Amino acid sequence: MAGEKASVSKEVCLSDPRVFPHGDVPGVHPLIEKIRADRTGGYPIRKRLKALGIIMGGRWLEDGEKGQDRTTLISVPRSGIPLSEGLYHLLPSCPYIQANCGLCRDPGKPLLPFEKLKNSGKFVIVDSVIFTGATIIQFLNALEGAKITIFAAVVAPNGVKNILSQTKNDIEIHFGESESGTKTGWDPHFYRVRTSMANIGNIGYLVSR
The string of pLDDT tens digits covering residues 44-84 is 999 999 999 999 999 999 987 655 567 899 999 999 999 99
Contact 7, 189 (CB under 8 A): no
Is residue 200 scored above 50 in pLDDT? Answer: yes
Task: Sketch out the chain's domains with CATH numbers.
Answer: 8-208 (3.40.50.2020)
Is residue 154 scored above 70 in pLDDT? Answer: yes
Q: Report the C-alpha gap between 40 and 26 in whole angstroms.
A: 25
Count of residues making up the chain: 209
- pTM assigned to the model: 0.90
Q: What's the pLDDT tens digit per position in 85-134?
A: 999 999 999 999 999 998 788 999 999 988 778 777 799 999 999 999 99
Q: Report the C-alpha gap between 178 and 155 in whole angstroms.
A: 5
